[in-house]
């Protein structure tokens, strides 16, 4: 297994830049080449930091160019904005979107990346705004 550490600087649109005055973010990635059954997999563990606060704004894992596993996105102060999982580059399972460190939206995705199960959206005070049930992306029932 080979390990490569990569450090990049990004502008405010998350594009790589070499112009120091445009540095907003720093990306640090560890890349591993893992051979399984004569097939080489590239696994990239990535963290992106906001340079002014030194806080992480994104953590993820990319396998062979596709998101895999848990992905978390934070604001510039380190507060969670989004958390969910990927399987072969598709959103799966339970996802949470946050606002002011409180859950704003809770939704589940099936293996085809369609809403599946209970969808909940909340007001800023934490009270329920909307509640629905989906199966394979189709709205089955809306409670509120």
pLDDT tens profile 118-140: 999 999 998 999 999 999 999 99
Closest CA to 17 of 2, 32, 27: 27
**126 located within any domain:** no
**What tens digit of pLDDT does each residue of 51-86 get?**
999 999 999 999 999 999 999 999 999 999 999 999
Q: What is the pLDDT of residue 20?
A: 80
- How far is the C-alpha of 113 from the C-alpha of 144, rounded, in Å? 24
Q: Which domain holds residue 13?
A: 1-63
Residue with tokens 């990306």, as numbered in its chain? 27
Q: Can you give the pLDDT at residue 114?
A: 95
Q: Give percent of the chain above pLDDT 90.
A: 69
- pLDDT (mean) for 29-54: 90
Mean pLDDT of the chain: 92
Cα separation of 106 and 103, whole Å? 7
E strand segments, the chain: 2-10, 25-36, 39-50, 55-63, 66-67, 69-74, 80-87, 90-99, 102-109, 117-122, 128-135, 138-142
Counted domains in the chain: 1
**Position 114 in a domain:** no
């Amino acid at each position: 297994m080979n390990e490569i550490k990569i450090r990049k600087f990004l502008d405010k649109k998350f594009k790589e830049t070499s112009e120091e005055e445009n540095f907003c973010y720093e990306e640090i990635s560890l890349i591993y080449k893992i051979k399984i059954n004569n097939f080489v997999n590239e696994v990239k563990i990535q963290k992106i930091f906001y340079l002014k606060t030194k806080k992480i704004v994104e953590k993820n894992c990319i396998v062979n160019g596709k998101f895999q596993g848990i992905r978390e996105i934070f604001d510039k102060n380190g507060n969670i904005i989004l958390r969910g999982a990927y399987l072969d580059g598709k959103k799966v399972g339970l996802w949470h979107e946050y606002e002011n460190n409180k859950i704003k939206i809770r939704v589940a995705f099936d293996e085809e990346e369609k809403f599946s199960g209970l969808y909940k959206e909340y007001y800023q005070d934490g009270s329920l705004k909307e509640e629905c049930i989906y199966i394979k992306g189709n709205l089955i029932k809306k409670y509120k």
